[in-house]
Amino acid sequence: MNKHIRNFLLILGAALAASVLGAIFAVILAALSPELMRDFFGHKQFMGRFAASVGMLWGLFIGAGAMAFCLGISAISNWFRPKSKAEE
């Protein structure tokens, strides 16, 4: 598999996993402290669904950004790594 496609799939997988974790965290937080969510979002109905959707979006952005940062660091370290005779 091409390394660029593999890197894209890693970013996509990390973003989706973080999205699920963000939704779970937001639903738990809404169940434990509905007053905080009501003050934060301003909605009174469908608090669990709204918290899950916002948590999914934030998790998606944070997961994609974190994985892209990690892959960028990996690319920079590979770029500055000394090449062996077999690679040249």
Model pLDDT for residues 19-66, shown as the tens digit of each residue: 899 889 888 888 888 787 777 767 666 777 888 888 888 888 888 888
**Structure token digits, residue 2:** 């091409």
In this model, does residue 15 exceed pLDDT 80?
Answer: yes
Confidence class of residue 85 from pLDDT cuts 50, 70 and 90? Answer: low
Query: How would residue 88 be classed by pLDDT, with cut points 50, 70 and 90?
Result: low
| CB-CB contact of 19 with 63 (8 Å) | yes
Crossing angle (nearest 10°) for helices 34-41 and 3-32: 110
Q: Which pLDDT belongs to residue 84? A: 72
Q: Is there a contact between 61 and 8 (Cβ–Cβ < 8 Å)?
A: no
